Chain A
Amino acid sequence: MSTVLIVKDLWVKYFTSSGVINAVSGVSFSLSRGEMLAVVGESGSGKSTLGYALLNMVPKPGRIVKGEILLDGVNILKLSEEELRKIRGSKISIVFQDPFTTLDPLRKIRDQFMEFLMEHGIDKNNALKIAREYIEAVGLTERVLDSYPHQLSGGQKQRVSIAMAISLNPSVVVADEPTTALDVVVQKQIMDLISDIKRRYSSSFILITHDLALALERADSVMVMYGGYVMEMANKNELAKNMAHPYTKALFESLPRIKQRTLPKYLTGYPPDLRNPPPGCIFHPRCPFASEKCRIMKPELVEISKGHFVACHFAR
């Protein structure tokens, strides 16, 4: 199984006037060809910042301060802005929650799509052909090419974003909460489309989401983040069976279960202040099992079984 992406010890900070925000702290993982990794986290987890970092487009005042991101063997953090512009969209692309981040409201779909392709060196004739091919591949008709974004529904806009994101056959597609703004029935349609594309083109996906249920349903592997750190990482089935980290368990237990007829459990407390994070384990202030050790010593990410990593002093 070939590896398309390796992230080593990534640290991202935002240098704001009110302090330095430690958004991503020491994240490492790898992604194989045709694999979908779900990055699961809530407010302040660092998951979206991680997504931007993978395209080396962390917005100011943020900066990647440490680490390597090897895309098809090339460290993208060492590339020039011009080289980065070439690979964004062609080697690694991104689909956002809000399609208007990708789509220009003032231009027809055909024009935007073709311009995007031509900017990457495709000639005009081929650009039209490719645009047609991928609009069809995402289940839309050619009529969409003649439309403006506001004439399309939320689901259609998102399909267009996906079509553009895969049209140059990138190795990795980052999907940042791609279905959160859509209604639940359309969410399912879009996720089915993504699964289909993954199969057909062997594209690797990084699915950034707050929804653990969605991650367990769709991804091959899951990485749970909290306060910028990785709490737990494992293959989907292994995680579902042997959830080890208290935060992962809490996330799972907060999902409403219709058959239970009782309210789901919840965590007390609030997400950490990333300018002034708690000492020891970042999760300890909210952890039902926190001990003295947790307050003092940061737990390392330890492999408790093959491919299953947990950052917790008591996970075994």
Chain B
Amino acid sequence: MVMDFEIGLFGRKRRIRAVDNVSLGIGRGEIYGLVGESGSGKSTIGRITLRLYKPTSGKVFFDGRDITNLSENRLRELRRKMQLIPQDPYSAINPAQTIGEALAEPLIVHEKMSRLEALEKAYKALEEVGLVPPDEFIKRRPYELSGGQLQRVVIARAMLLGPSYVVADEPTSNLDASIRASIIKLLLDFKNRYNLSMLFITHDIALISLIANRIGVLYLGQLVEEGPAEKVVSSPLHPYTKALLTATPLASEELEIEKIYLKGEIGDPSNPPKGCRLHPRCPFALEKCRSLEPPTINVGGNRFVKCWLYS
């Protein structure tokens, strides 16, 4: 898939290729961890898979069906099967609604339930996500709940219509570290129960390695490495993956990996470096890296890396 944005406020527009020729596939019951920093295009990819954006080029297949060019009407029915859990729970729930109303709404709208039925389901949903007793929460408003509690409500709402695919976009980054694992555990419980497919977007490579089946590492809109989670983390191939692990406190001591330090910063997505996008920062940059974009190389074991060092 390719996603181009045109941006520009006063006058001259710039084109930003947020996503450059990314292909990925997620199987049933599989968790795909998409790792990248801000500006990598990871959130854009998540939204494209949900058809919240239409890609500039490329295709999106859901359950074997090409949904790339579906109209909003056709998509609406499918949307029940695809859900998004965003980073900030306070922006995800209407602050003017009560928790009960926020949970009942999708049931009334999509399943045509009566208010009474929907509220009953809402009570059950609160119990399922550990917000007990449900009475305590049903009449409250979002600002009265802590970040962790509200994220549970967001997850409860996402699961109400029985989705088969969930995009979790940095679902725990805004939450206290001491409770993150409880939210991840909740997501895993749902995933196992309903055999969900999940795209888990994060900048935290250490956390995602513990739950993902597969990891894709994104840099400036391109997938630079992809493979089984455990392998990517214990024997990273791409210099960027190595640099991410080196820079993560604790991780670099835990793993016996070559420590890599990148100089400079991620650079301008509207004007990325020629050749390999990492070359200005990469300690291993060869002459050809400066002018030729590396191909995606299959190194076996279902592992792929986009780097001239492996050709």
Q: Chain B 160-186, CB within 8 Å of chain A: the 1/0 string?
A: 000000000000000011111110110
CA distance A250 to B180 in the complex (A): 12
Stretch at the interface among A31-39, A87-95, A152-160, A200-208: A152-160
Interface size on B, residues (CB 8 A): 40
Query: Is the Cβ of B149 less than 8 Å from the Cβ of A270?
Result: yes
A43-B147, A183-B38 known; A267 and B203 CB under 8 Å?
no
Query: Is the Cβ of A254 less than 8 Å from the Cβ of B177?
Result: yes
A residues 149-179 near B (Cβ < 8 Å) are 153-156
Query: Is the Cβ of B265 less than 8 Å from the Cβ of A153?
Result: yes
B75 within 8 A of partner (CB): no
Which 10 pairs across A and B sit closest by C-beta, in order of nearness? Answer: A183-B37, A213-B249, A42-B176, A266-B181, A266-B182, A256-B206, A188-B247, A256-B207, A267-B178, A270-B146
Q: Which residue of chain B lies nearest to A43 when distances are taken between CB atoms in the complex?
A: B176
Query: Is the Cβ of B265 less than 8 Å from the Cβ of A257?
Result: no
B148 within 8 A of partner (CB): yes
A186 within 8 A of partner (CB): yes
A residues less than 8 Å from B255 (CB atoms) = 258-259
CB contact between A183 and one of B182, B188, B203, B254 (< 8 Å): that residue? B203
Q: Chain A 252-294, CB within 8 Å of chain B: the 1/0 string?
A: 0011111111111111101100000000000000000000000
A residues less than 8 Å from B83 (CB atoms) = none
Q: Which residue of chain B lies nearest to A183 when distances are taken between CB atoms in the complex?
A: B37
Interface residues of B (CB under 8 A from A): 37-38, 146-149, 176-182, 184-185, 188, 203-204, 206-207, 209-211, 230, 233-234, 243-244, 246-251, 254-255, 261-262, 265-266
CA distance A267 to B178 in the complex (A): 6
Query: Is the Cβ of A254 less than 8 Å from the Cβ of B244?
Result: no
Q: Which residue of chain A lies nearest to B206 when distances are taken between CB atoms in the complex?
A: A256
From A156, A256, A259, A262, name the one whose CB has the most chain B CB atoms within 10 angstroms.
Answer: A256
Query: Is the Cβ of A185 less than 8 Å from the Cβ of B262?
Result: yes
CA distance A262 to B209 in the complex (A): 10
A-B contact pairs, 11 of them (CB 8 A): A183-B38, A185-B37, A185-B243, A211-B177, A255-B250, A256-B207, A256-B209, A263-B184, A263-B211, A270-B146, A270-B149
Query: Is the Cβ of A254 less than 8 Å from the Cβ of B180?
Result: yes
A183-B266, A258-B255, A271-B176 known; A265 and B181 CB under 8 Å?
yes
A185-B262, A263-B210 known; A271 and B146 CB under 8 Å?
yes
CA distance A301 to B18 in the complex (A): 52
Chain B's nearest CB lies how many Å from the CB of A178?
15
A1 within 8 A of partner (CB): no
Chain B's nearest CB lies how many Å from the CB of A164?
20
Query: Is the Cβ of B178 less than 8 Å from the Cβ of A250?
Result: yes
Query: Is the Cβ of A42 less than 8 Å from the Cβ of B177?
Result: yes
Query: Is the Cβ of A43 less than 8 Å from the Cβ of B210?
Result: no
A residues less than 8 Å from B178 (CB atoms) = 42, 250-251, 254, 266-267
A184 within 8 A of partner (CB): yes
CB contact between B210 and one of A213, A217, A262, A268 (< 8 Å): that residue? A262
Q: Chain A 8-43, CB within 8 Å of chain B: the 1/0 string?
A: 000000000000000000000000000000000011
Q: Which residue of chain A lies nearest to B207 when distances are taken between CB atoms in the complex?
A: A256
